[in-house]
Structure 1
Amino acid sequence: MSSRPNAPNRRSTKGEYIETDTGNKISRRAHIEGKQNIMLGGKSVLMAGVTLRGDLHRLQDQSDGDDRSKASVTAINIGRACIISTNCTLRPPMRIHHGTMTFYPMRMGDNIFIGHSTHVSSIHIASHVHIGANCVLGPFSVIKDNCKVLPNTVVPPHMIVPAGSVVAGKPARIVGEVGDGWGQGGGAEGEDWVEGGDLRVVVRAIKG
């Protein structure tokens, strides 16, 4: 797993979290497969029981004509100041292409909160998104900027949630808009955190 660089901080050798040089906090009880195919942008948190399936990735042909020369692409890319709560699973989406099982990279923006026990197979989640607990985000779904997914929501495969939407239900449907001022503030010392806001203050408050 890389965050350019993402080596453990030697000062953080005990406790719940391993803190990297870029400020990521990774629970010692997280389950991370294919670390070399996962990118963390910095100051993000992976809590206990989180599963990241970086081993589910596609190989990209090189241009030198050597059939043996294939390089893996980043399977999961998580932006800055994201919080993945306990027992969540992030699994890149997959489809059968020309008879072959092919996985597609998952991309996530900044300041995303994912509630506990949520399963994510989206292909893209934009920035300033708040996802509640016990949700399912189906393969190739897209969550655009400044959205709120209410708890226990099931977002169907390939659904695109427009920017500024509130979605709920099984299957998900748009039930409202987040409104003006969504996510504003919450990033400075002494400010209360707000949904969709800057998550750095929450990340700083999480201790190992």
Structure 2
Amino acid sequence: MESPIYYTRAEYIETDTGNKVSRRATIAGPQNIILGGKTIISSGAIIRGDLRRTGPGHAVVISLGRYCLIGEGPPYKTYRGNFNYYPMKIGDHVHIGANTIVEAATIGNHVEIGKNCVIGKFTIIKDCAKIADGTIIPPNTVVPALSLFAGSPGRFVEDLPESTQEMVEALTKQYYTRFQPMSSER
């Protein structure tokens, strides 16, 4: 087994369902964000559940499944302009790399999204897909199951093996197990 990834206990809030949320993450509108359990939200990640769609009473609901990893967020970036945010569903065993911006409608189960990616509005990423580092997926794209997309704009590169589900599940569970408080704090 790979070596542990240590974190400072004081930096993370751990919920009853095993979610670990960095105190340095920006969680806006937490009442509109649902975490499935054993999800890690890293330092600097930004999750916006507070942005309205069409008026009062239409807050965004962001749902993340179990064993998700939201990587570190973009440092010191602010986004200007008018954004329309819609509900987003993220399945189980999803790994989103550091500095990635996601505005997808749906991300399936067992999905890997690399670092420094932009996932456009209304994108649908099916189960067991992989988005390579640095990929920009245009709005309204459908990424098929078991496919690798890369480039700018993101395009189909190759089919992934049937074993992708098991490999991604093992990866996310292993990462969660390795993510431990520093030994001096136990």
TM-score per shorter chain, which class?
0.7 to 0.9
4+ residue runs over 6 A deviation = none
Cα deviation, residue 179, structure 1: 1.2
**Which structure: greater helix fraction?**
2
Q: Deviations over 1:105-155 (max 9, x none)?
A: 011100000111000000100000001100000000110000010000000
- Counterpart of 2:64 in structure 1 is 78
Using structure 1 for the length normalisation, give the TM-score.
0.74
Using structure 2 for the length normalisation, give the TM-score.
0.82
- Counterpart of 2:14 in structure 1 is 19
1:156 aligns with 2:138: yes
- Counterpart of 1:7 in structure 2 is none
Gaps of 5+ in 1: 1-12, 61-69, 90-95, 185-193
Cα deviation, residue 204, structure 1: 2.3
Cα deviation, residue 14, structure 1: 4.3
- Counterpart of 1:180 in structure 2 is 162
**Higher RCO, 1 vs 2 (CA within 8 Å, ≥6 residues apart):** 2
Q: From the superposition, tell whether residues 25 and 73 of structure 1 become closer, same or farther in structure 2 (CA, over 3 Å).
A: same
- Counterpart of 2:5 in structure 1 is none
Question: 1:1-208 alignment to 2 at 5 Å?
Answer: 14-58=9-53, 71-72=57-58, 74-87=60-73, 103-184=85-166, 194-195=167-168, 197=170, 199-208=172-181
The 3-state SS of whatever aligns with 1:39 is strand
Cα deviation, residue 15, structure 1: 2.2
Q: Deviations over 1:160-184 (max 9, x none)?
A: 0011110001001000011121132
- Counterpart of 2:78 in structure 1 is none
Gaps of 5+ in 2: 1-7, 76-81, 182-186
Sequence identity, in percent?
42
Cα deviation, residue 201, structure 1: 2.7
